[in-house]
Amino acid sequence: MKKLLCIAPLLFSAQSFAGDWYDDWLFEEVTTRIDTPYYGGSKTCHTPNGDWLSLYKSKTYVSTHTVYKDLNKFDLFDSCTVTFPQIGVDTTYKTKTVKSPIQPYANNVFIERLACSGSQRKVLISVANAETAASSMQIFASPSPYYADNSIYSGSSRAHILTYVNANADTINFRIKLDDGSSYYASGSNMKCTGGGGVPLD
Q: What is the pLDDT of residues 154-201, one digit of tens each?
A: 999 999 999 999 988 999 999 999 999 999 999 999 999 976 444 443
Give all domains of the chain, ordered by start, each with its CATH number. Answer: 1-100 (no CATH), 103-202 (2.60.40.10)
Task: Name every residue whose Cβ is closer than 8 Å to that of residue 188 and which is 6 or more positions away in sequence.
Answer: 111, 113, 123, 171, 172, 174
End-to-end alpha-carbon separation of the chain, Å? Answer: 52
pLDDT at residue number 93? 96
Q: For 124-146, what is each residue's pLDDT tens digit?
A: 999 999 999 999 999 999 999 89
Residue 38 has φ and ψ, to the nearest 5°, of -130, 160
Whether the model clears a pTM of 0.75, i.e. scores above it, the answer is: no
